[in-house]
C-alpha cells in the first residue's frame, strides 16, 4: 500500500468510526513527518481501535484502484462538470479549471477524490 493510499485509508476509518473529518494532510519526504489533521486529539483507546482496523483491512488485501474522469467547465463560471453533465461534486475546489478528477477506491471501505 502506498503512503497516499494509506492516508485515504486512515481518513476513511477516522470518518466512519469516530466521525472525525480530515481537515488537512501532508505527505512529505523523509525525515519530515507525514500527518493527518483532525478536529481533536485521539485517546489511546481510539488510536488502538484505528490502528487495529487499518491493519486488518491491509492484511485482508482490499483491492485499491483509481478511477479517472475527464472534466470540463460548463458556461457556469467556477462549476466543474463531468462529461456526462453531472456535477463533479463539492470535493473539487471552486477555482478548479478542468482536467481530470481522480477518485481513489478502496473496495468496501472508501471512495474519495
Quote the pTM value: 0.69
- Please tell me whether residues 56 and 71 are part of one structural domain: no
- The residue count of the chain comes to 113
The answer to whether the CB of 21 falls within 8 A of the CB of 15 is yes
pLDDT tens digits, 36-54 = 899 999 999 999 999 999 9
Tell me, yes or no, whether 56 and 77 share the same domain.
no
Question: Which of 60, 75, 97 marks a domain boundary?
Answer: 60
Domain boundary among 60, 75, 92: 60
Say yes or no: 87 and 101 in one domain: yes
- Kindly report which listed range (3-12, 52-61, 80-89) carries the lowest average pLDDT score: 80-89
The parent domain of residue 8 ranges over 3-60
Amino acid at each position: 500500500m502506498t503512503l497516499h493510499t494509506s492516508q485515504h485509508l486512515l481518513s476513511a476509518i477516522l470518518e466512519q468510526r469516530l466521525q472525525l473529518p480530515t481537515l488537512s494532510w501532508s505527505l512529505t519526504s523523509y525525515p519530515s513527518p507525514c500527518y493527518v489533521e483532525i478536529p481533536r486529539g485521539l485517546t489511546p483507546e481510539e488510536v488502538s481501535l484505528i490502528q487495529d482496523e487499518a491493519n486488518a483491512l491491509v492484511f485482508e488485501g482490499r483491492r485499491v484502484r483509481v478511477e479517472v474522469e475527464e472534466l470540463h467547465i460548463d458556461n457556469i463560471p467556477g462549476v466543474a462538470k463531468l462529461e456526462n453533465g453531472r456535477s463533479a461534486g463539492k470535493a473539487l475546489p471552486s477555482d478548479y479549471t478542468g482536467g481530470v478528477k481522480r477518485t481513489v477506491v478502496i473496495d468496501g471501505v472508501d471512495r474519495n477524490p
